[in-house]
Structure 1
């Protein structure tokens, strides 16, 4: 009886192998991915919605030194510390569902862009740290340009928020660095590499250029000299309350989140025609 059971088990096992072999699907070596052009998301309000985007996050795999980037640590947190829920200790009020990421990861960028697209967002205002390679500015710029290259997949637009404070940092690191010339080169870089992009945001035919501040150049004469290297006049928009430092070369202000009351923030809204 034991021999019969072994024989029967062997037949069943053999039959199982045979059946599995017949059930395997044929491999189609001709399969190709078909790409489609992006389509518009239906919106109930036609006002263009743009988001301020920071391309400055680095993890150990993406950073040049194999360490967590400063924007995950802010010199006060250690992401190598993981709590009982598996969460890294990061310098953020909110924890990313996809874990701390690298801003230059194409898969991450596509994910972010799709989320924005489905949310009805029309474009990104990318925080831009200039054309130099001081500190982490070069990596930020490279991340920015990977992002720009992928915008076409979703049909989103973009413009730049210039961080003129990077000029001060450059002068601190290299005392021979010329403030005005450095900012002028940044403007030329923007015009040559971004303004002509079909996805770049234009306001009344002018490329939109924002500055987070200004934080370094505080007189209209300085901005006149800096912007003079551009062949096309930009729609230059500054931080709320800062247009006295840039007018008549700026054309508007934008609001940033702080403790200033809204009445004060909107007090000058009728002074600008955009």
Structure 2
């Protein structure tokens, strides 16, 4: 079921009236407390020339990015000849590899400029199954870069990993709970203790996506086995052993599901509301499965409404779904179709008078220099530091002189 434009507009008006009057009345535009804003990040893209072949998340085994679409998209000098990828939309920088440190720098700097506080990383564990090792390696690189830039991070554990692990004999059916508990123990040993890991009441926050791996009772048993405390969040609904739940865009119910989450969540200890721009997947066209119903972009209204509701909530943190899930079209990363529209709106709402929409162009220009070897590494590292610390005038001046 597609979102009705009138319903979105009405929701936005209500949220604005009741949730943002306080912001409008704040003296000197001082911002009231808001949720920590975290972008859900997919580390699963494999691309040439960083790797020898294109990965599934660009191809879905149907498309060949070595081939180009017949017509360029865009206007004038911004015209882009697109590779053939499994997505309704196209990254402004083209399809990329998630292990590329320059691309990670570009993503994180864009987030910082837009006012995003950190990332929630989609994590499949440490077992040698499918592309899980690649995802783990890329996640490690992303976390290292986030730490250098002073950005927060948290882990979203993929519940669905258990099925393939059992099918391939890496985990026994009877060891479901034990396996997940051991992976969380690995997280506790290696990442939960890092200074930039997201915490709630001193406890590391961990999300679990889906419910195909462990049942409600098994998750309760799993959390009970841990010898250390965590703030565990299940998807959509709070499981019995969870601190609370996080929301996610649901094709079909759309905004009705968001309403339900806000109705249910006051009963929980904590909740993580969702901010999203749309849901337009490519599964049907790629013949992976039948596509889900769309949640329409509605000229940016979907993003504006869900952001307004999240900021007006009393949540400790909110999740943007997503930064870069190109297969489901939920991206706020700059694209050929939408540019940096959503980042500009986000920047305005999060930073107020400190917002500088022109600075959103700087990470992309820095990436161009990185790829063209247009300056020394030391010079470019210095420009990255200026962007990351908000010294935009210095970065702009250096880029103009090159």
TM-score range, shorter chain: 0.7 to 0.9
Counterpart of 1:82 in structure 2 is 68
Deviations 1:197-224 (A, max 9, x none): 111000011100100122211122x123
Task: Give 3-state SS (helix, strand or coil) of 2:220's partner.
Answer: helix
Counterpart of 2:42 in structure 1 is 54
> 2: CA distance between counterparts of 1:250 and 1:181?
17
Which of the numbers 98, 108, 112 marks the counterpart of 1:113? 108
Shift of 1:172: 1.1
Shift of 1:100: 0.7
Deviations 1:46-98 (A, max 9, x none): 421111111100113344xx221111111232212112433111112221111
Structure ranking higher on relative contact order (CA contacts 8 Å, 6+ apart): 2
1:167 aligns with 2:162: yes
Which of the numbers 219, 244, 267 marks the counterpart of 1:223? 219
1:265 aligns with 2:257: no
Deviations 1:228-255 (A, max 9, x none): 44332211111113x2xx31x2011111
Counterpart of 1:33 in structure 2 is none
Relative distance call for 1:232 and 1:43 in structure 2 (3 A) is: farther
Counterpart of 2:98 in structure 1 is 103
> 2: CA distance between counterparts of 1:43 and 1:117?
19
1:133 aligns with 2:150: no
> 1: CA distance between counterparts of 2:65 and 2:143?
28
Q: Contact between 1:191 and 1:230, CA under 8 Å: does it hold in 2? A: no
1:70 aligns with 2:41: no
Q: Contact between 1:237 and 1:252, CA under 8 Å: does it hold in 2? A: yes
Shift of 1:176: 5.4
Task: List aligned pairs for 1:202-221, cutoff 5 A.
Answer: 202-220=199-217
Task: Give 3-state SS (helix, strand or coil) of 2:104's partner.
Answer: helix
Compare CA radii of gyration and give the structure with the larger one: 1
> 2: CA distance between counterparts of 1:186 and 1:158?
17
Relative distance call for 1:87 and 1:171 in structure 2 (3 A) is: same
Task: Give 3-state SS (helix, strand or coil) of 2:263's partner.
Answer: coil
Task: Give 3-state SS (helix, strand or coil) of 2:161's partner.
Answer: helix
Q: Contact between 1:57 and 1:103, CA under 8 Å: does it hold in 2? A: yes
Relative distance call for 1:203 and 1:94 in structure 2 (3 A) is: same
Relative distance call for 1:214 and 1:97 in structure 2 (3 A) is: same
> 2: CA distance between counterparts of 1:69 and 1:45?
43
Counterpart of 1:199 in structure 2 is 196
Cα-Cα RMSD: 1.9
The answer to which structure has the higher helix fraction is 2
Paired residues, number: 226
Q: Contact between 1:77 and 1:89, CA under 8 Å: does it hold in 2? A: yes
Task: Give 3-state SS (helix, strand or coil) of 2:138's partner.
Answer: helix
Q: Contact between 1:43 and 1:120, CA under 8 Å: does it hold in 2? A: no
Counterpart of 2:383 in structure 1 is none
Q: Contact between 1:62 and 1:102, CA under 8 Å: does it hold in 2? A: yes
- Unmatched segments (≥5 aa) in structure 1: 1-41
TM-score, structure 2 normalization: 0.53
